[in-house]
Amino acid sequence: MFKKSNTIDITVNGRRVQCSGRNISIQNGKITIDGKPLECDMTGDIHVVVNGDINQLTCAGSVEVNGNCGSVDCAGSCTVSGDVNGSIDTTGSVTCGTVYGDIDAAGSVRCRR
C-alpha cells in the first residue's frame, strides 16, 4: 500500500490536527494514528477530512479523503478524490475514483470503477 509516512492533515468537526501516519481510526471520540492515540477528544456528529494518502480509515462518521486510500469503513458518507486500493464499507453514499475492492454502501455509489 502506501508505505512512505508523510504529514497529513486531518480535520474533525472543524478542528485541524497534523500528524504522521497511514492508518487512522476515529471511534468513540478518540483519534488513533498507526495504533497510537492522539491527545484530543472529539464530540458531536463526526465529519472527517483527510488531506494526503492513507492506508486505512475507520470512522464513526462521514469521511472525505483528498488523496488515495487503501480501505474505508465509516458510519456515514464517503468521498475519496483519488483511488481506493481496497474496499469501502459505509452506511451512507460513496463518491470516489477507481475502487479495486468491494463497495458495501447503504446509499448511492458513484465511482470510476
Q: What is the tens place of the pLDDT at every residue in 32-83?
A: 888 988 776 566 677 889 999 999 999 988 999 999 999 999 999 999 999 9
Q: What is the tens place of the pLDDT at every residue in 82-110?
A: 999 999 999 999 999 999 999 999 999 99
2 has pLDDT over 60: no
pTM of the model: 0.84
94/34 Cα distance (integer angstroms): 25
- Parallel, antiparallel, or unpaired for β 7-12 and 15-20? antiparallel
Q: What is the mean pLDDT of residues 21-41?
A: 82
3/53 Cα distance (integer angstroms): 10
CA proximity to 8, closest of 53, 70, 62, 59:
53
Nearest-5° angle of CA 3, CA 101, CA 58? 60
